[in-house]
Amino acid sequence: MNAVVEEHHDHDHKPTGLGRWLFSTNHKDIGSMYLWFSFTMFFIGGALALLIRAELFQPGMQIVEPEFFNQLTTLHGLIMVFGVIMPAFVGLANWQLPMMIGAPDMALPRMNNWSFWLLPGAFGMLLASLVMSIMGLGSAPNFGWTFYAPLSTTYGPDSTDYFIFSVHLMGISSVMGAINVIATIMNMRAPGMTYMKMPIFVWTWFITAYLLIAVMPVLAGVVTMMLTDRNFGTSFFSAAGGGDPVMFQHIFWFFGHPEVYIMILPAFGIISSIVPTFSRKPLFGYSSMVYATASIAFLSFIVWAHHMFTTGMPVAGELFFMYATMLIAIPTGVKVFNWISTMWRGSLTFETPMLFAIAFIFLFTMGGFTGLMLCIVPADFQYHDTYFVVAHFHYVLVTGAAFSIMAAVYFWLPKWTGNMYDEKLGKLHFWLTTISANVLFFPMHFVGLAGMPRRIPDYALQFAEFNQIASIGAFVFGFSQLIFLYVVIKCVRGGKKATGEVWEGAKGLEFELPSPAPFHSYTTPPEVK
Amino acid sequence: MRAVNRPLGLACLLLASNPTFADYQLNLAPGVTSTSQNSYDIHQIVMWICVVIGIVVYGVMTYSILNHTKAKNPNPAKFDDNLTIEILWTVIPVLILIGMAIPATSALLAMEDTSNSDMSIKVTGYQWKWHYDYVGEDVSFFSNLSTPMDQIKDKETKGENYLLEVDNTIVIPTGKKVRFLFTSNDVIHAWWVPAFGVKKDAIPGYINESWARVDEPGIYRGQCAELCGANHGFMPIVVEAKSEEDYLAWLNEKKTAQAAAAESGNKTWTMDELMAHGETAYITSCAACHQAAGEGIPNVFPALKGSAIAIGDITKHIDVVINGVANTGMQAFGPQLNDADLAAIITYERNAWGNSTGDMVQPSDVKAAR
Amino acid sequence: MTAQNPDNRTADNPKIIGKLLVLVVAMFGFGFALVPLYDVFCDVTGLNGKTGNKVSFEIAPIVDESRVIKVTFLTSLNESMPWNFQAEQSFIKVHPGKPTTVNFIAKNTSNKSIIGQAVPSVAPGLAAAYFQKTECFCFTQQKLKAGEEKLMPVTFIVDSKLPKGMNEIVLSYTFFVSNKNEQDLSVATYDETAKSKSLTLSLNQDHIL
């Protein structure tokens, strides 16, 4: 791919002051805002996790009341899912997609701005309920991030209605973002960039955007049904009025399962961008990567009830969902094999992004194995609602999605800032994070198999040792992220100057721009051969 | 290196498949029913297949990381596809999955067959205790966590069965197929006894079923497995499996005890008796929300100490306890506790923690108020 | 910009955005459509143990004298429902195809009038499709005045097409406080003659339902 030489505009001017951020229509600034928002929420959600792990350090209730513990676990989940992982991926999309396809900006820059600013509002509301709870004014949401009825409807605290409003705002933000992504990718690719010449990260986001459009409205539907059940006399989920609590689970997981793929497909795209770069080899099997991503997205719609095997489903249903879920292992396996084949007989170097990418492949695959175990119904009866599930999803979300985000930040920071980050500190951050993440989450497999249920603030004595180990890992993990913060801030402020190419052998339109990328880039589209 | 690694690896494998290793239990336990054994067997099969695949995949990747570095391989290969191998690594996983699906399917079909049971027990989940009703036997009771609050608050050393002990265990006969019928009084709970391999949601308004046939006598412990509110972690399950004659003896004892409890509603109690019984019953049934010293949790569960209801009109107090308060977390305890328990609790609440009204409520007062 | 990029399709933006918005609205509607769809699916397949709160009509049921099905009755009260609620008998053995009537007894022990809604559930779930109720107090809401006791009959037929391996069915009712307690809705008539029968049944207050 050759790019037409970028004409140098001298006036790479940016707006100034607070208005630059409040009224931004620039994909780079908006991308930065999403990333900083996500990073902030990461520390807040992480603090809640540390409180949880502190309480679980030993048997007995030392720090919080059980009722507040349920609020902690609920908010930790909501913040990490909706406030960290999703906004971070949107931030990366904003920064990277226009540059990668040779477009000047996103298709709808003003809507882009609204998509972002909805989020601080939504989370302000959610966090306010936590603050009010600490002040003794009533409970924050305390029913788990999955908010099953009737615990969340008939028995939910007053803050539940604000939770519902908050979810609506987040949903609108995501849907608008997804529309923007699709319009950008479909309509603004540089001449010569056919679909099958798009960078793989663009493909994964393209597919993710369709998933978002398909399922976020269903989430909006289910929380609206909750709202009317709570306040306007309907009985969607109450057996008293002819409703069904299990139906809540069906509708929620119809959203919920594609949601977890929304949280991993962009990660796949990131790894597929980083591994070829540091292997100095093209991505193995580009088209099968595209087809595999599309298959995973399609399959994600027909597996939802594997979260519900203990609800009393008839055997035929259990078998169907087991088989359908097992199928997802195939395209996922294809992706893992393709990454390894990309590395095979390449010329590997192990800068920080590559370290995180390799850790992703190892550890996400672990999460994939436990996911396969979980979908096997006869075994799932012993795993469901135990720490085995907690271990599984933390492996795929932390050592999976979150690691990919860290990898992406290290990978593209020099492009964004024009400075190389401190490689020594980056590696330190990597090793501390990876080792502590395993100390934190691996023992959870054991206690889950040994019989420890989820969402409990206190536990029987036989689970004590591994819980203690996990809590230690949690604190090391949490504090290691301060190194990441330091590295990012230090890089923004200065460092060894980065070239346009940044990494030897880096391919892609973004690497044909200077570093830092100009405020307005590709106002004249490049020619793609 | 290699010579040491192999036996070491084998030792690790053996350890990993041993269900209990001091308190560092690593693996699922096989349990005592055919259901739990099925779960365990399928778990082992799938887990070891994953381990083998993992060793192969991670092995290839590790080899690449060690040998395909820029230093060792400065001229990278240029290939980016290979149809044969892509077909192979699509087809082989499909075959492996089919190999897993077949035993999993037959295990599941065996586990889900509740027909031809010998007896049934109706299990109802409450916030935050279990209720058991032996269908057709006229024996029913609540089962509450019996671990003292002092142990939970670190004021006393924790007992061996900390958080896994109850005041009334359920008893089942060995060698019989026991059918469990699950429902809930309020939110969704789940009844789980790992040793039986039984986990089923208890859903308000609906009945779910499962079964267990236990051949080994013993005590088996489990917990609630679906978030159900504040004390989700504090509503355990304890099942004792006894020989059939011991079970029948226990059943008779239970019937006698129930009759005696009913009788206690007919006598007149002294203040001391009411306060003593009231304190125990209060801790079991009320302290979860209203707390041991009646202080409640601000804006979540009201305090009883110094409260208008506990100090004011006695009829109103009795009504609240018997009938609950609509649209709040205050359940109707009338259907759950007998007259003597209710009378004692209400008396205790009216006199403890400085409330000191001096009021006494007799079981007959409660009976009249129902 | 357009002149330099002949491939630029920004003009197509409104079209694609329009289509996506339609998709968004459609998926929102789909979420709500899942509600009736869920019921339809349960009815068609008989899954989920729902026997429905509706009357089923049998045309000349075939009685199968060779089979005996044991139907066990369970009664539950939802929390805060201050009634007593029991089945007159804990089980009955029937032949498939033969209409059978059994009674339940409910008593409002509180000091105010309450409208209750009974919700039926059948186990095993797959038997629900073969369990037909022609008369049931669950079809309507039941209003009991303070202290009132009522006999509530249920007439049912077990379909003779019930799969061979299934010989036990559990019919459970849970009484909820109706969310329509403010209005006086359609109420079953209070059966005077049934009242005298029920008073002889001693309701042990310690027998928790």
Taking the C-alpha atoms of residue A350 and residue A341, their distance in angstroms, rounded to an integer, is 17
3-state secondary structure of A518: coil
Taking the C-alpha atoms of residue A227 and residue B201, their distance in angstroms, rounded to an integer, is 24
Structure confidence by residue, pLDDT tens digits, B272-310: 888 998 998 898 888 888 888 888 887 778 899 988 888
Residue A258, preceding peptide bond in cis (omega within 30° of 0)? no
CA of A320, closest CA in chain B: separation in Å?
10
Active site residue A272: yes
∠ CA A420-A425-A429, nearest 5°, is 120
Cβ contacts below 8 Å, chain B against chain C, sum to 111
Average pLDDT for chain B: 89
Whether the per-residue pLDDT at B28 is higher than 70: the answer is yes
Catalytic residue among A307, A384, A415, A445, which?
A: A307
3-state secondary structure of C154: strand
Cβ count near C183 (within 10 Å): 8
* Burial class (CB within 10 angstroms; exposed 0-12, middle 13-18, buried 19+) of C179: middle
pTM over 0.80: yes
Cβ count near A334 (within 10 Å): 22
Residue A408 corresponds to which tokens in the numbers above? 């992406």
Contact A369 B234 (CB under 8 A): no
CA of A487, closest CA in chain C: separation in Å?
38
3-state secondary structure of B198: strand
Taking the C-alpha atoms of residue A235 and residue A153, their distance in angstroms, rounded to an integer, is 10
Phi/psi at A276 (5° precision):
-60, -40
3-state secondary structure of A80: helix
Q: pLDDT category, A410, cuts 50, 70, 90?
A: very high
Catalytic residue among A28, A257, A281, A384, which?
A: A257
Catalytic residue among A21, A36, A145, A210, which?
A: A145
Q: A407 with A360: CB under 8 angstroms?
A: yes
- Best B300, B301, B328, B331 residue to mutate vs chain A (most A CBs within 10 Å): B300
Q: B50 with A372: CB under 8 angstroms?
A: yes
Characterize the bridge pairing of strands C168-177 and C69-77: parallel
A chain contacts of residue C53, beta-carbon cutoff 8 Å: 242
> Does residue A17 come out as left (phi exceeding 0), alpha (psi in the -120 to 50 range) or beta?
left
B chain contacts of residue C165, beta-carbon cutoff 8 Å: 113, 115
Residue B128, preceding peptide bond in cis (omega within 30° of 0)? yes
CA of B264, closest CA in chain C: separation in Å?
11
DSSP B69: B
Contact A155 B208 (CB under 8 A): no
Query: DSSP labels for A231-290?
Result: HS---SS-GGGT--HHHHHHHHHHHHHHHHHHTTHHHHHHHHHHHHHHHTSPPTTHHHHH
Contact B151 A60 (CB under 8 A): yes
Whether the per-residue pLDDT at C191 is higher than 50: the answer is no
Is B186 near chain C, with CB under 8 Å?
A: yes
A chain contacts of residue C177, beta-carbon cutoff 8 Å: 240
Query: DSSP labels for A483-507?
Result: HHHHHHHHHHH--SBPPSS-STT--
Whether the per-residue pLDDT at C126 is higher than 50: the answer is yes
Contact B135 C124 (CB under 8 A): no
Which amino acid type is present at position B158? K
Could you tell me which of B237, B137, B246 has the C-alpha nearest to residue B192? B237
CA B103 vs CA A122, A388, B178: distances in Å: 47, 22, 25
Looking at residue C46, its pLDDT comes to 57
Could you tell me which of B204, A154, A106 has the C-alpha nearest to residue C77? B204
Residue A284 corresponds to which tokens in the numbers above? 């193995």
Q: B93 with A330: CB under 8 angstroms?
A: yes
- Best B118, B119, B179, B206 residue to mutate vs chain C (most C CBs within 10 Å): B206
Mean pLDDT of C16-33: 91
Q: pLDDT category, A172, cuts 50, 70, 90?
A: very high
Taking the C-alpha atoms of residue B231 and residue B297, their distance in angstroms, rounded to an integer, is 13
Q: Residue holding tokens 């609506």?
A: A168
Active site residue A445: no
The residue in chain B having the minimum alpha-carbon distance to the alpha carbon of residue A240 is B205
Which amino acid type is present at position B40? Y
Query: DSSP labels for B205-256?
Result: T--EEEEEE--S-EEEEEEE-S--STTGGG--EEEEEE-HHHHHHHHHHHHH
B chain contacts of residue C68, beta-carbon cutoff 8 Å: none
Nearest CB to B100: which of A347, A376, A459? A376
CA of C60, closest CA in chain B: separation in Å?
29
Mean pLDDT of A229-241: 90
Phi/psi at B71 (5° precision):
-65, -45
Mean pLDDT of A421-450: 98
Q: Residue holding tokens 């930065």?
A: A32
Taking the C-alpha atoms of residue B204 and residue C76, their distance in angstroms, rounded to an integer, is 9
Characterize the bridge pairing of strands B237-242 and B170-173: parallel
Structure confidence by residue, pLDDT tens digits, B308-353: 888 888 888 998 888 887 667 788 888 788 888 899 999 999 998 8
Task: Note the ipTM here.
Answer: 0.93
CA B270 vs CA B274, B278, C107: distances in Å: 6, 12, 32
CA of A62, closest CA in chain B: separation in Å?
7
Contact C167 B116 (CB under 8 A): yes
Q: In which element (H, E) is residue A515 found?
A: none
Contact C13 A108 (CB under 8 A): yes
C chain contacts of residue A190, beta-carbon cutoff 8 Å: 5, 7
C chain contacts of residue A104, beta-carbon cutoff 8 Å: 1
Looking at residue A500, its pLDDT comes to 94
Residue C124, preceding peptide bond in cis (omega within 30° of 0)? yes
Whether the per-residue pLDDT at A159 is higher than 50: the answer is yes
Q: pLDDT category, B24, cuts 50, 70, 90?
A: confident
Residue C67 corresponds to which tokens in the numbers above? 């089979």
CA of B257, closest CA in chain A: separation in Å?
31
Looking at residue C1, its pLDDT comes to 41
Looking at residue B6, its pLDDT comes to 52
Structure confidence by residue, pLDDT tens digits, A83-130: 999 999 999 999 999 999 999 999 999 999 999 999 999 999 999 999
Q: Residue holding tokens 């809401």?
A: C141
* Burial class (CB within 10 angstroms; exposed 0-12, middle 13-18, buried 19+) of A391: buried
Q: pLDDT category, C81, cuts 50, 70, 90?
A: confident
Structure confidence by residue, pLDDT tens digits, B77-134: 999 999 999 999 999 999 999 999 999 999 999 888 878 899 999 999 999 999 999 9
DSSP B185: S
Catalytic residue among A28, A168, A281, A306, which?
A: A306
Catalytic residue among A259, A318, A351, A380, which?
A: A259
B chain contacts of residue A136, beta-carbon cutoff 8 Å: 298-299
Looking at residue C47, its pLDDT comes to 60
A chain contacts of residue B82, beta-carbon cutoff 8 Å: 284, 341
CA of A424, closest CA in chain C: separation in Å?
43
Interface of B with C in 234-253 (CB under 8 A): none
Q: pLDDT category, A5, cuts 50, 70, 90?
A: very low
Active site residue A454: yes
b/e for C155-171, b at 16 or more Cβ within 10 A?
ebbbbbebeeebebbbb
Q: In which element (H, E) is residue C205 found?
A: none
Pinpoint the alpha helices (H) of B29-161: 34-67, 83-111, 149-152
Q: pLDDT category, C50, cuts 50, 70, 90?
A: low
Share of chain A above pLDDT 70, in %: 98
Taking the C-alpha atoms of residue B247 and residue B238, their distance in angstroms, rounded to an integer, is 15
Query: DSSP labels for C115-139?
Result: EEEEEEEEESGGGGGGEEEEE-TTS
Whether the per-residue pLDDT at C185 is higher than 60: the answer is no
Torsion of CA A448, A452, A456, A457, to 10 degrees: -100
Q: pLDDT category, C49, cuts 50, 70, 90?
A: low
What do you get for the CA distance between the two ends of chain C, in Å? 76
Contact C7 A246 (CB under 8 A): no
Taking the C-alpha atoms of residue B237 and residue B143, their distance in angstroms, rounded to an integer, is 8
Torsion of CA B336, B340, B341, B346, to 10 degrees: 110
Taking the C-alpha atoms of residue A506 and residue A276, their distance in angstroms, rounded to an integer, is 8
Nearest CB to A340: which of B60, B233, B298? B60
Residue B76: how many CA atoms within 13 Å on its side-chain side?
A: 24
Catalytic residue among A153, A173, A352, A417, which?
A: A173
A chain contacts of residue B88, beta-carbon cutoff 8 Å: none
Nearest CB to B115: which of C76, C80, C165? C165
Q: In which element (H, E) is residue C102 found?
A: strand C100-108
CA of A183, closest CA in chain C: separation in Å?
6
Active site residue A11: no
Nearest CB to B135: which of C90, C121, C166? C90
The residue in chain B having the minimum alpha-carbon distance to the alpha carbon of residue A283 is B80
Q: pLDDT category, C61, cuts 50, 70, 90?
A: low
Phi/psi at B181 (5° precision):
-115, 120
Residue A150, preceding peptide bond in cis (omega within 30° of 0)? yes
Whether the per-residue pLDDT at A240 is higher than 70: the answer is yes
Query: For residue A10, what are the contacts with CB-CB under 8 A and spacing of at least 6?
Result: none
Could you tell me which of A154, A423, C187, A314 has the C-alpha nearest to residue B185? A154
The residue in chain B having the minimum alpha-carbon distance to the alpha carbon of residue A445 is B26
Catalytic residue among A174, A208, A342, A404, which?
A: A174
